[in-house]
Amino acid sequence: MSDHGRSPGGAPFDVAIIGAGVVGCAIARRLTLDGARVVVLEKARDVLDGASKGNSAILHTGFDAPPGSLEQACVASGYAEYLNIAPALNLPILKSGAMVLAWTTEQLAALPGLIGKAHRNGVPDVAPLERDEILRREPNLSRDVLGGFEVPGEYLIDPWTTAHAYILQALANGASLRRGAEVLGGHRGKEIWTLNTSTGDVHAHYVINCAGLYGDVVDRRLLGRSTFKIRPRKGQFVVFDKPASALASAILLPVPSKTTKGIVVCRTIFGNLLVGPTAEDQDDREDASTDRATLEALRGQGIKMLPGLADCEITATYAGLRPACEFPEYQVMQEDGYVTVGAIRSTGLSAALGIARHVAEMIGPLGTPLTEPVIPLVDRLSEHHPRDWQCDGHDGIVCHCELVTRREIERVLTGPMPPASLQGLKRRTRVTMGRCQGFYCLPELARITTGRLEVPMDVPTGMSEGKDHD
Amino acid sequence: MTERAIATEQCCIAIVGGGSAGLALAAEARRLGAKNVVVLEREQSAGGVPRHCGHYPFGLREYGRLMKGPDYARRNVAAACAVGVDLRTGATVSRLLPGGGLEVVQDGYAYTVRAERVVLCTGVREASRAQRMISGDRPSGIVTTGALQGMVYLAGQAPFRRPIILGSELVSYSAIQTCAHLGIRPVAMVEEEPNTLAPGQLQLYLRLRGVPLHTGVSDLAIRGKGRVEAVSFTDMTGQRLAIETDGVIISGRFLPESALLRASHLEVDPLSGGPVTDQHGRCSDPAFFAAGNLLRPAETSGFCWREGRRAAAHVVADLARPRDMDRHTVAIRAEDPAIGFVSPQRVVIGRESSASGPLHVGLALPLNGVLQATSAGRVLWSGAGKARPVRRVHLPLDKILAARPEADIVVSRVEVR
């Protein structure tokens, strides 16, 4: 960690990145590998605490993005780089492929147009599928399906480990991370930005605003204005227990209509099956609440597509907030040593590496690219790859539903970016994320984490509520 | 991964789960002469749920002594070990193999157990907030009673100081006791059903403890950023209320811990959530049995202990018989909206037709009337039944079988004219 808001050596940082969501983490990695001195400022106690917290965990080809858009270009290049670096970073991927399915004659009529768009987007293996072929490949699918097409190149990935791996690689190669550092204001003078944060001033030549749900707020605080307004779009999800994942092989995508993109049914890299998201526009930037009526409707929609889901247990429910705005396109722009990376909606996970390259090109070289960057390894939490519980010396399984070992938990707690709270420990290890949601393992986790979390699981007697919330 | 070849062990009876049912079954099987009986417990110490129920009453019928849960759990462990049960802790069963096999991981070493009979005793857990689809934010401070008890009695920690209890089953009252142990008092008990699910006389206990009760609530939602701040709901009069609180205890609505089962070749009853079994606990693969609360949610530890003992007699006797013996079974099913599930779901009739345990009838709606069991239109048994939803009634399965059913048995209420 640097002192007095400057990089090691006392000079201002080359770049200050505001926001440690998946986009901020990817940019931090890219610029660090390119030789820049980077500091990442995150207002929450932990990384991935905003929009990147909840998504559908798919690596998209970008087949359905608007042709010629920045979004399409970033998804395409982000996709390619992800597949390239995943093995070295130990990131799990599962090539499930996707199918876009038509359930009405209107949807059936829309398929050729979507296939043509996919081809224009440079995804040539998108091809139509007859109803019989769909049902042969997905025998648990409702017979009501009328037709569809395949997108063989779509993958299931781990959304949290992905972003953790990006930021950990940045940190391992010299970047700094400040958590709990909210940017309150700042100004640019003599080519250098001074950012006033809740933990002190930070100086940097470039500022990159990756503040996600607060992208427009940060623009206003630093530029005095914003050219877009974030209007969060909430997406609720229902996650079914692992046996449900036997019901579908491919990611089952709907045909988007003018008003809605529709809900996805897909397996997860963790071995579950999820149904979602909804698309609910709201003003609140924090409200990721779920409601029973919507969750029951989602479950019902899932059962309509996969009737076998009716007998499957639900493991979890959650909601994510996409940082949407009034424009359909990403809001990426540069002026006076300041780059806004705003309104990165649902495609952020797939596009992050592509966005990072795009931003790196925008601001030009800031140093000498590292020739042999350090590659820190993250634990693979995939149900489809070997796990620590199958290896010697893990000192016992703590979370039985997700088969998380004491060694995995210890590695995270003693690692370079330990979690601030149980939430962060969950995202890093999957503890309590399974079917029992902590019924069995919370006591042991309380014991293991005693004195080691900024937000303890234990509430002391006569406690006074913390002043700030995470 | 381990480099060496995966070892295979042989045993007579392998029991998955070292709780009340599994330990009682293991000890009794040894007493009845079973040679090697292995219990595989995934936790670092055996005993099951009673381990973290630091309150009375446990063990009166089993040991003639009133005990707290942890003492009862230790007693069950000691009783099993004293008769030579091979009790293995930290042993996770990762897969059930057709014909009576288990894949086990213990201390990172994988091995296979081939058993003449496998008994599944994996117990129950409470439904989570997600499974109950409770609306609202997801702040910290939301735990099930089981997790709370573990945190309090095993880890000496408290996740909140003034929680609200969602649910009104017996376990919800245990949650109050657990809070009392911490010197804290829940700010309210809230139930979506019109009445409490535990016997009504327990409401006196709520009054003594000064815990307000709200039943028949709707549109429940948890509010809070970071930590729980409030629980809001619409009460029976239609008024919207918000109770300030710093935690939520999600209590009751037990579900069989059926993950292994659901990932296996064994038939699952979607209604009970447990395996489809006959009256002796035999599963769809004749090498597999089940006992205890995995069969259905949820009975007391003492009930599961006795059920384990009874099951041991069947399993040991079964060791002498060919596993693939043709058994004549008929199904038991409910035809009544008030009935959520029945257990067992089939019965062996003819030579092996006997029953030592009851027919469990789990209720989806309140019941107050006459139940009957019929077969091919003939009434095998009828009798009064009264219980609240989520709870159950026990029908005398021995009497039903004594009436010699020849076709499927149907359980329903008798129409009252």
Q: Does B90 contact A396 at a Cβ distance shorter than 8 Å?
A: yes
- Condensed to tens digits (0 to 9), the pLDDT of residues B295-312 reads 999 999 999 999 999 999
Distance (Å, rounded) from C-alpha B114 to C-alpha B396? 35
Asked if pLDDT for residue A38 goes beyond 90, the answer is yes
- Provide the pLDDT for residue A463: 37
Inform me whether the C-beta atom of residue B263 falls under 8 Å from chain A C-beta atoms. yes
The model's confidence at residue B325, banded by pLDDT at 50, 70 and 90, is: confident
- Condensed to tens digits (0 to 9), the pLDDT of residues A46-77 reads 999 999 988 889 999 999 999 999 999 999 99
Distance (Å, rounded) from C-alpha A218 to C-alpha B54? 51
Contacting residues of A for B263, CB less than 8 Å apart: 242-243
Asked if pLDDT for residue A464 goes beyond 90, the answer is no
Report which of residues B5 and B350 the model is more confident about: B350
Residue with the two structure tokens 């802790």 = B89
Q: Please check whether residue A114 is in contact with residue A147, taking contact to mean a CB–CB distance below 8 angstroms.
A: no
Kindly report the average pLDDT of chain A as a whole number: 94
DSSP per-residue codes, A116-173: HHHHHTT-TT-EEE-HHHHHHH-TTS-TT--EEEEETT-EEE-HHHHHHHHHHHHHHT
Asked if pLDDT for residue A392 goes beyond 90, the answer is no
The model's confidence at residue A470, banded by pLDDT at 50, 70 and 90, is: very low
- Provide the pLDDT for residue A466: 35
Distance (Å, rounded) from C-alpha B330 to C-alpha B409? 7
A358: part of which helix (H) or strand (E)?
Answer: helix A348-363
Share of chain A above pLDDT 90, in %: 90
Q: Does A391 contact B2 at a Cβ distance shorter than 8 Å?
A: yes
- Condensed to tens digits (0 to 9), the pLDDT of residues A1-13 reads 444 588 877 789 9
Asked if pLDDT for residue A255 goes beyond 90, the answer is yes
Tell me the backbone φ, ψ of residue A110, rounded to 5 degrees. -85, -15
- Provide the pLDDT for residue B107: 82
- Provide the pLDDT for residue A303: 98
Selecting from B110, B154, B225 the residue whose C-beta is nearest the C-beta of A390 gives: B110
- Provide the pLDDT for residue A377: 87
Distance (Å, rounded) from C-alpha A435 to C-alpha A418? 25
Asked if pLDDT for residue B162 goes beyond 70, the answer is yes
Report CA-CA distances (Å) from B154 to B48, B69, B147, B186. Answer: 13, 12, 10, 20
Selecting from A389, A391, A440 the residue whose C-beta is nearest the C-beta of B125 gives: A440
Asked if pLDDT for residue B239 goes beyond 60, the answer is yes
Which token pair is B39?
């219990």
Q: What share of chain B is helix, strand, coil (3-state, %, to 5)?
A: 25, 35, 45
Chain B: closest CA distance from residue A386 (Å) = 8
- Provide the pLDDT for residue A276: 96
CA triple B239-B240-B243, angle to 5 deg: 125
Q: What is the number of CB-based contacts under 8 A between chain A and chain B?
A: 156
Tell me the backbone φ, ψ of residue B199, rounded to 5 degrees. -50, 140
Inform me whether the C-beta atom of residue B270 falls under 8 Å from chain A C-beta atoms. yes
Residues ≥6 apart with Cβ < 8 Å to A282: A231, A232, A233, A234
- Condensed to tens digits (0 to 9), the pLDDT of residues B352-407 reads 678 889 999 999 999 999 999 999 999 999 999 899 888 899 999 999 999 999 99
The model's confidence at residue B4, banded by pLDDT at 50, 70 and 90, is: low
Distance (Å, rounded) from C-alpha B19 to C-alpha B146? 14
Which token pair is B377?
């239109």
Selecting from B42, B110, B143 the residue whose C-beta is nearest the C-beta of A400 gives: B42
ipTM of the complex: 0.94
- Condensed to tens digits (0 to 9), the pLDDT of residues A432-454 reads 999 999 999 999 999 999 999 99
Residue with the two structure tokens 């597999």 = B288
Q: Does B133 contact A461 at a Cβ distance shorter than 8 Å?
A: no
Report CA-CA distances (Å) from A283 to A21, A280, A319, A324, A328. Answer: 20, 10, 15, 11, 17
Asked if pLDDT for residue A461 goes beyond 80, the answer is no
Distance (Å, rounded) from C-alpha B173 to C-alpha A168? 46
Contacting residues of A for B141, CB less than 8 Å apart: 459
Inform me whether the C-beta atom of residue B218 falls under 8 Å from chain A C-beta atoms. no
- Provide the pLDDT for residue B353: 75
Share of chain A above pLDDT 70, in %: 97
